[in-house]
Amino acid sequence: MLEQRGFKLKKGLDVAFLKRERFGFLYLSLPSFPMPENGGYQVVNCGLGVRHNRVDDVVNQLGHIWGDANRKNTTTVYRGLQFFPFVAERDEKQVIHFPHVEEDAAVAAANLSAMLEGDGFGFFERYSSLEECAQGLNEPIETRTHPLCNGFPLRAYYGVAAAALTQPDRVPTLVQRYVEFIRSSGVVDPLMYDVAKDKTGSDAIIERLETVARLGVAA
């Protein structure tokens, strides 16, 4: 199914499939891990990602990603289905018990196929639009968890950068709304950055927001 749509298996520790696009790539991630209980089983999660090079090239200038290879693999939006399933009973973790691998693997494959046909390929198509990314990442502003980028304030950086590349006139108001939320909620940034590394708390986050806004508009 994936090969027919132009995806290729990506070599690495976890199974993943990638489709190159003119704007970046589409990404289906299937991270898995073994569990020893009850005869042993493998848990397989699923995530859907879309990268727009123009956005990630801006956000990655904040200096939180080390190495060119890693910066080339970041995604603009990423939906982890174990936290944000389209259909809970179908999309949450797939469990493959070692005593009956073939049967459980067939069920997992059927669930993944149904997810892709029902919602996943539509997700890829929708967020292949940079305008949709700019809209979706910034709605709502007032939340720390989000189905398109489940980490705050990283989502804010992506949202502002995407908006700066599509609707620059919207950016000052957008930044101000994020600033108000950051100051009222007391959120902190758990990552390390080159930009504003000498600042802490909301001051550091605000400087990074202003940086991606400036870089995005300039781009």
Walk along the chain (219 residues) and give the pLDDT tens digit of each residue: 999 999 999 877 678 999 999 999 999 999 999 988 878 999 999 999 999 999 999 999 999 999 999 999 999 999 999 999 999 999 999 999 998 999 999 999 999 999 999 999 999 999 999 999 999 999 999 999 999 999 999 999 999 999 999 999 999 999 999 999 999 999 999 999 999 999 999 999 999 999 999 999 998
pLDDT of residue 12: 74
pLDDT of residue 73: 93
pLDDT of residue 13: 65
68 CB-side CA count, 13 A: 0
Joined tokens for residue 141: 């502003």
- Look-up: residue for tokens 């950086």? 157
State residue 48 phi and psi, 5-degree precision.
Answer: -115, 125
State residue 79 phi and psi, 5-degree precision.
Answer: -115, 110
State residue 45 phi and psi, 5-degree precision.
Answer: -100, 175
- If one counts every other C-beta atom within 10 angstroms of the C-beta of residue 62, the result is 22
Q: Which H helix or E strand runs over 26?
A: strand 24-30
- Give CA–CA dist 91/108, Å, rounded: 9
- Give CA–CA dist 165/20, Å, rounded: 21
pLDDT of residue 39: 81
Reported for 104-107, long-range contacts at CB under 8 A and 24+ positions apart, including other chains, are 104/41
- Are 87 and 110 contacting, i.e. CB atoms less than 8 angstroms apart? no
Does residue 210 sit in helix, strand or coil? helix
DSSP state of 120: I
pLDDT of residue 16: 94
Which amino acid appears at position 6 of this protein?
G
pLDDT of residue 171: 97
Number of residues written out for the chain:
219
Tell how strand 47-52 and strand 24-30 pair up: antiparallel
- Are 50 and 76 contacting, i.e. CB atoms less than 8 angstroms apart? yes
Which amino acid appears at position 25 of this protein?
F
